[in-house]
Structure 1
Amino acid sequence: MKVIKLDAIDSTNDFLKALASQDELDNFTVVTAENQTKGKGQMGSKWQSESGKNLIMSALVKDFLYNNEQVFNLSIVVSLAVIETLKSFDIPNLCIKWPNDIMSYNKKIGGILIENTLKSDGRIVSVVGLGLNVNQTNFTELPHASSLAVITGNTFDKDILPALIIEKIQEKIGLWETNSTDFWKQYFNTLFKKGIPMPFKNGAGQNFMGIIQGVSSIGKIQILLEDDSVSEFDIKEVQMLY
């Protein structure tokens, strides 16, 4: 595993995408940074992180996705890999808030942003960005956020995490063909607030009650509505209120 360590960068995802477009990088090349000035989350949101306290990494993943119908498979692989890695450090009450926020109890400790590029030969090359709150303890402006240090009362060596996470990703990719059904089940069983009546907000800003029933093959969340119908929503179309 090749690791490129940076002190500060606007976005590790953007850096790695630019690097991958110019050079034939090894699969699972990783870029890490101590500080990221323009970190990105889902739907263009910003990822805020104290310099030097947290894990900021992006990884190149090739030769796994071959069409647009498969792209959510990588979200499942990565989110389960992160969950398993954190379990090995005894982080409690871990779950995945759809599509791929990492939660402990009801606090967000990590976020995953996957950006896919379709090459001229039909291959899909993915850059997997991960922000994980490790040793940061001040979240006064982020009431739904926490960190490994806050949750456990311990400090962690964040520099050992990339290799452990990449090892889990590689393991799951290697097993995908024979274990994909089990991985989908694991993902669903790990979902935050599944099967519980919860308030949501749709893309038009309207609040409604619903119960998470599952996730479609292309990654849309399936919500049971009050009229007993099940509707599917994309990431831009619904927000959980919790």
Structure 2
Amino acid sequence: MEMINNGTAAHGTAVFAHEQTAGKGQRGKSWITTKGENILLSVIIDARQIATQPKFLLSMAMAVAVHDFFGAHCVDENSVKWPNDLYWRDRKAGGILIENVLRGMDWQWSIVGIGININQTRFADVIQNPVSLKQITGKNHDPLMLAKQLCAYLDKSYNTLCVNPASIKDRYNSILYKKNTTVTLKKGNVLFDCTINSVDEHGRLKVTAAMEQSFEVGEIEWIR
């Protein structure tokens, strides 16, 4: 954010952290990692080329990139859980958090924060169903080298978004966790079963219970 505020930001600038002590995820949840074992990456995106597009399309593009990168090293049963978590089977391998920077009403920059579990094998009890690449593959990996590979996937996906946003939405929905499956969600104090259908370009999750409904990010909680 400092580079954006002082005018030195450049599109594609990536900052790799070896440790994160105050990470945050969706809905105020913490992201806790072990020093030197994971990918902790912040990437600056010049949003002016996509400023007329719905902002969630950038989240979709980054999720597609993270999914495809992870799939290059772990080829089976990877998906994106709405809105932007990386899953392997039913376990969380990573997540994305995007901070958008506006000047007045103009969307100018975004900071894409990405955390992916690489070599970590012990997790805090507060983290539900975590998994790392090492646990899946049975071997150690170089987080910095993998982060550089990830940047290439991010760049490719962003470039696709600039010229063909519809393909990004289609790809995101093709890798959506539990798509066409019945799940249990919670809104307020009410639990309900529904079938996951898709996510639209504004980030709304579309489901079918007694009828088709859509929910904003943060409006519901995923139970199972």
Give yes or no for TM over 0.5. yes
Query: Matches of residues 163-182 of structure 1 in structure 2 within 5 Å?
Result: 163-182=148-167
Q: Deviations over 1:123-150 (max 9, x none)?
A: 4210000010000001361341110011
Looking at structure 2, the residues matched to 96 and 214 of structure 1 have their Cα atoms a distance apart, in angstroms, of: 12
Q: Which of residues 77, 83, 87 is equivalent to 1:99?
A: 83
Moved more, 144-153 or 69-78: 69-78
Name 2:143's counterpart in structure 1. Answer: 158
- Corresponding position: 1:59 with 2:67: no
Do the aligned partners of 1:135 and 1:149 also contact (CA within 8 Å) in 2?
yes
Aligned to 1:33: 17
8 Å CA contact 2:100, 2:107 repeated in 1: no
Give the Cα separation in 2 of the matches to 1:215 and 1:207: 20
Instruction: Give the direction of change, closer, same or farther, for the CA distance of 1:178–1:28 in structure 2 (3 Å limit).
Output: closer
Deviation beyond 6 Å, 4+ runs, structure 1? none
1:239 aligned partner: 221
Measure the CA separation in 2 of the matches of 1:165 and 1:59: 11
Deviations 1:85-104 (A, max 9, x none): 11221343110000110001
Question: Which residue pairs with 2:196 in the alignment?
Answer: 212
Structure 1 residues 73-128: Cα deviation after superposition (integer angstroms, max 9, x where no partner) = 11111111111111221343110000110001110000000010112482421000
Unaligned runs of 5+ in 1: 1-16
Equivalent AA in structure 2 for residue 85 of structure 1: F
Distance 2:72 2:214 in 1: 34
1:222 maps to what in 2? 206
The answer to whether the Cα contact below 8 Å between 2:49 and 2:162 also exists between their aligned partners in 1 is no
Total equivalences in the alignment: 222
Report the equivalent of 1:117.
Answer: 101
TM-score calculated relative to the size of structure 2: 0.93
Superposed CA RMSD:
1.6
Greater RCO (CA < 8 Å, at least 6 residues apart): 2
3-state DSSP of counterpart to 2:96: strand
1:193 to 166, 178, 195: 178
Q: Structure 1 residue 161: deviation in Å?
A: 2.2
Q: Percent identity?
A: 27
- 120-129 vs 95-104, which deviates more? 120-129
Task: Note if contact 1:91-1:104 (Cα within 8 Å) is conserved in structure 2.
Answer: no
* Amino acid in the other structure paired with 2:221: Q
Q: What TM-score, normalized by structure 1, do the two folds share?
A: 0.86
Q: Secondary structure at the match of 2:17?
A: strand
Task: Check conservation: 1:65, 1:124, Cα contact below 8 A.
Answer: no
User: 1:32 touches 1:57 (CA, 8 Å); kept in 2?
Assistant: yes
SS at match of 1:85: helix
